[in-house]
A and B are shown apart, each in its own frame.
Chain A
Amino acid sequence: TRLSSLSTIATRCAPSYFFEQYQKSRMQFVQTVAELASRPQNIETLQNAGVMSLLRPLLLDVVPTIQQTAALALGRLASYNDDLAEAVVKGEILPQLVYSLAEQNRFYKKAAAFVLRAVAKHSPQLAQAVVDCGALDALVVSLEDFDPGVKEAAAWALDYIACHNGELSQAVVDAGAVPLLVLCIQEPELAVKRIAASALNDIAKHSPELAQTVVDAGAIAHLAQMILNPDAKLKRQVFSALSQISKHSVDLAEMVVEAEVFPAVLTSLKDPDEHVRKNATTLIREIAKHTPELSQMIVNAGGVAAVIDYLGDSRGNVRLSGIMMLGYVAAHSENLAMAVIVSKGVPQLAICLAEETEDHIRSATAWALGQIGRHSPEHARAVAMANVLPRLLAFYMDAQSSDDLQAKAKKALKSILQKCTYVPALEPLLHEAPSNILKHVICQFSKVLLHDSKARRLFVTSGGLKKVQEIKAEPGSLLQEYINSINNCFPEEIVRYYSPGYSETLLEQLEKYQPI
C-alpha cells in the first residue's frame, strides 16, 4: 500500500495528470452547461454568470468532443431568446463556426449548423448577420454531406434563414441551395425529407419568382409523390409547400394540378392529423381561387363535397380555409355556385356562421354566402331558405362586431337581397332592418307583389303592409317610389285601413257624423 500510495502521489505530481484533470473538468463543465441550457428556467442564471464568454474559447478546444458539446450548448442558449443570439453574433463566434462547418467532422457540423439556425430564427437582422458571415456557402456544401444528420441540420438552418423575408430567400437561392434541397427530399430518412420540404415551403412563399425557381428545380413531382407517405408531419409540410407554390399565379397552380395531386388530396382530407387536413384544404383553396376552369376541375373531382364534410368535422380556426375555398369556387360563375348549393354547402355554411365566435371566420362565412347568393333568384332563394339573412343582419347591426365583419355582412346582405324573391325570408327583415337595407327589401317586395296574389294576401295578413305604411321616407326618394308601387298593388281601402292613425280618422268622422 505504501508503494501504491507512493505511486498515486507520483502520478498526481506528474504533469500529464494535471492535464487530464483539466480536460475532464472542461468536459464536465461543457456537458453540464449543455444540459442546463436545455431547460428554460436555468438560462437566466447562465446568462448572468456570463456563460457566453466562457463557452467561446471552448469552441476552439483541442478535444473534438468538447468543441461539439460547447457548440451544442451555445446553440441551445441562442435559441432561447434573441438577446443571447445577438450576444453570439457580437462575440464573433459565427465566422469560426462557418469555418469549422467546412473543415470538421459530422458531429461538429451538426452542432455548428444548430447554432446558426438558433441564431437565425429570431429576426431578419440576425439572419442577415448569419448570411453576412458567409454561412450560406458552408451550409450549402454541408447539404451535400453523406450523413443525413448533417443534411438535416444544414437544411433546417437554411429554412430558418429563408423564412423571414424575400431578400434572405433570394440569397439562399443564389447560393444554389434549391437543387440540393430537392435532392434532399428524395432521401430515405424522414427527418431530412421533412426539413427539406419545410425549407422549400419557406423559400417559395415570398414571391412568384422564388416559387418559379423552386418549380424549375423539379420540386413539384417529388412533393406530389410524398403526399402518399404515411408520416403526418411530412404531409403537413408537403401540402404547405404545394399551396405556397400554387398561390402565386395561374401557371404555377396549373403545374401543381398537372402533377396529379387531385384525388390523393381529397383522401388526405380524412387524415387523423388536424394540420394535415388544414393544409390540404389550403392547397385546394389556393388552386381554386385562380380561374373558373380550375374550380370546375376541383368540383368535378368531388372536391366540394369533401371540403363540406371537412367543415362539418372540424371546429375553430381550421375551418377558415375551407370556407374561403367555397367562397372562391362560388364567386367564379353561377354554375359553380349552383354546384356548391347542390352539394349541400349552404346549410353547412349556415352552421359555421352560427357556431363560430371568431370575427374573422364569421366575416369569411358572410363573404362566402354573399358570393353564393348573388348570382340569380334561385341562388338567393337557396341561401335565404337556410335562415341566414337574419343572422347576417344581426352581425351588421351589432356594435361589437369588427369593421371587417360589418362591412362584409352588409355587402353580402345587399348582394343577396338584390336577387332574393323568397318572401318568407324577406318578411322578418322588413321589421328589423335599418333604412339602407330596408330600401332593398322594399324593392324586392315591390317586384314580387306585382305578380303574385297569394303573396299579397300573405303580405297583408302577416302585418307587412302595416309596417310598410309606417315607414317614413322622403318624397321623391327611391324608397318612396317603391312604397308607392307596393301601395298600388293593393286596393285603396286596404291601404287606408293600414295607414297609421286610421283609427283616429275614423273616430273624427264619427264625431262629425250627424245621424239623420
Chain B
Amino acid sequence: MARLEWLQRQIEGIKEEHVIENREHSAAVRLQSWFRGCQVRARLRLLHRKATIIQKVWRGFRARNQFRQMVKKAYFVMKMNFYNEMAIRIQRRWRGYYVRKYIHNYYALKRYLEGLTIKNEQVRKDLEEFAELQRREMERLAREREGQRKCLQAQRLHFLLSTEQCPGVFNSPYRDFPHEMELRLRSIKPLLAKNAPLRRDSGGSPACSLPPVPSKKPQGPFRDPAEVLQQRYRPLEPTLRVATSITALEEAREELRREEWRSRVIDDIFQPFSNAHKNRKYERTLHGTSSYEQVDYGTKYFREENKEKRQGEKLLFFSLGLSQNHPGARVHSPIHVVQLLGQREQSTVLTCVTRSRGS
C-alpha cells in the first residue's frame, strides 16, 4: 500500500514532471515556431517589399507611356477639331458665296426680271405699233379703193351734173350745200368710152391704165414718143408653151399620120442594098399557085368549053403582036393569054371584048 501510494506519488510526480516537461517542450516549441514565423514573415515582408518596388516601377513606366499616348491623342484631337472648325468656316463662306453667285443669284435674278420686264414692254410696244401700222395700211387701202370707186362712179354719172338752168339730182335747191357727189361731178372729167375700164362684177384691181404719151417729146430726160409708142404697142410674142393649143400633141400625131398616109407610096420597108436579094419575097410559079392536082387542061381537053359565049367574039391580037405564027411559039388558049397579060392589059382586052360583043 505505501508503495502504491508511493508509486502513486511518484506517478503524480512523474506526471507533474511530464507535464512540466511537456509544458516546457511546448513552450519551447511555441517560442521556436514563433521565431520561425517571424523569420519567415520578415523574409516575406522583404519579398513583398521588393515585389512592390518592382511592380511600382513597372506600373509607373506603363502608366507614363499611356499617359504620353493619351496626351498625344488629346493633342491630335484638339488639333483636328481646330482644323475642322476652320475648315467649316471656310466652307461656309465658300458655299454661301458660290450659291449666291452661281446657283441662286438673287440680284442677278432680280436684274434679269427687271430686264425682262423692259424687254416685254418693248416687245409689246413694237407689236402694238406693228398692229397699228397694219391696221392703218388696211384702212388706207380700203379708203383708196373707196375713193377710186366713187371717182369711177362720178365719171360714169357725169351727165347728172347740175347746170345753171336746172339743178342736178345731187344739188337740190332745198339743201344747204351741194352733196359731195355733186362736188365730185364738178371736179372730174367725163369718162370716154374707149378709156372706160371694163365693168367687173367684183371690184377687182383697175386695169393697168397707162399714162398718155404726148405727141411731142417733153423737155427733160424723156424718151422719144415714137419709141414709147413702139414699146407700148409692141405685139405680144407668146412663148411656145402659151402658143401651143391644148390638143397640140394629138394634132401633131394626127398630122404625122396624115403625112405618112399621103406621102408614102411604097408600103414595103426599105431594105439596104446588100440585103435586097436576101429579103426578096418568094414568088410562086403559076404552076404552084394553082391546086396540087393535075389540071384537066392538056390531058382531058385542049379547047375552050364555053363556045356559046364566044360566038360573036373577035379577039384582037395584032396590037399585042401575039397572032404572029413564028415557029416555036406555042398555041395558047385565049384565057391563058389574058392571064399572062398584066392587069392593065387585061382590063383593056376585056373592055374591047365587051365593046365588040355589044356592038
CB nearest to B135 among chain A residues: A272
The answer for the CA separation of A343 and B113 in the assembled complex, in Å, is 9
Most chain A CB neighbours (cut-off 10 Å) among B116, B247, B250: B116
18 A-B pairs with CB atoms under 8 Å apart are A64-B247, A105-B247, A105-B249, A106-B246, A107-B246, A266-B123, A269-B127, A272-B134, A272-B135, A272-B138, A299-B116, A300-B119, A302-B124, A305-B120, A305-B124, A338-B109, A342-B113, A343-B120
Residues of chain A within 8 A (CB-CB) of B134 are 270-272
The answer for the CA separation of A64 and B250 in the assembled complex, in Å, is 10
Interface status of B241 (Cβ within 8 A of chain A): yes
Residues of chain B within 8 A (CB-CB) of A267 are 127, 130
Q: What is the interface of chain A mostly: helix, strand, loop, or mixed?
A: helix
Residues of chain A within 8 A (CB-CB) of B246 are 64, 105-107
Interface size class of B (residues with CB under 8 A): 20 to 34
Q: What number of residue pairs across chains A and B have CB atoms under 8 A from each other?
A: 56
**Given that A64-B246, A107-B246, A267-B130 are known contacts, is A339 also in contact with B116, CB under 8 Å in the complex?**
yes
The answer for the CA separation of A266 and B121 in the assembled complex, in Å, is 14
Interface status of A34 (Cβ within 8 A of chain B): no
Shortest B175–chain A CB gap in Å is 39
Interface size class of A (residues with CB under 8 A): 20 to 34
Interface status of A304 (Cβ within 8 A of chain B): yes
Q: What is the interface of chain B mostly: helix, strand, loop, or mixed?
A: helix
Interface status of B122 (Cβ within 8 A of chain A): yes
Interface status of A309 (Cβ within 8 A of chain B): yes
Interface status of A19 (Cβ within 8 A of chain B): no
Q: Which of B117, B138, B241, B247 contacts A342 (CB 8 A)?
A: B117
| Chain A interfacial positions (CB closer than 8 Å to B) | 64, 105-107, 146, 266-267, 269-272, 299-302, 304-306, 309, 335, 338-339, 342-343
Instruction: Indicate if the CB atoms of A302 and B119 lie closer than 8 Å.
Output: yes
**Given that A64-B247, A64-B250, A270-B131 are known contacts, is A343 also in contact with B109, CB under 8 Å in the complex?**
no
Shortest A321–chain B CB gap in Å is 17
The answer for the CA separation of A306 and B127 in the assembled complex, in Å, is 8
Most chain A CB neighbours (cut-off 10 Å) among B117, B123, B138, B246: B123
Residues of chain B within 8 A (CB-CB) of A146 are 241
The answer for the CA separation of A305 and B121 in the assembled complex, in Å, is 8
CB interface residues, B 111-153, toward A, < 8 Å? 112-113, 116-117, 119-124, 127-128, 130-131, 134-135, 138
The answer for the CA separation of A159 and B121 in the assembled complex, in Å, is 41
Residues of chain B within 8 A (CB-CB) of A338 are 109, 113
The answer for the CA separation of A303 and B187 in the assembled complex, in Å, is 52
CB nearest to B109 among chain A residues: A335
Shortest A147–chain B CB gap in Å is 9
Q: Which of B109, B116, B130 contacts A270 (CB 8 A)?
A: B130
The answer for the CA separation of A335 and B246 in the assembled complex, in Å, is 66
Shortest B228–chain A CB gap in Å is 29
Most chain B CB neighbours (cut-off 10 Å) among A64, A270, A299, A309: A270
**Given that A105-B249, A272-B134, A304-B120 are known contacts, is A309 also in contact with B113, CB under 8 Å in the complex?**
no
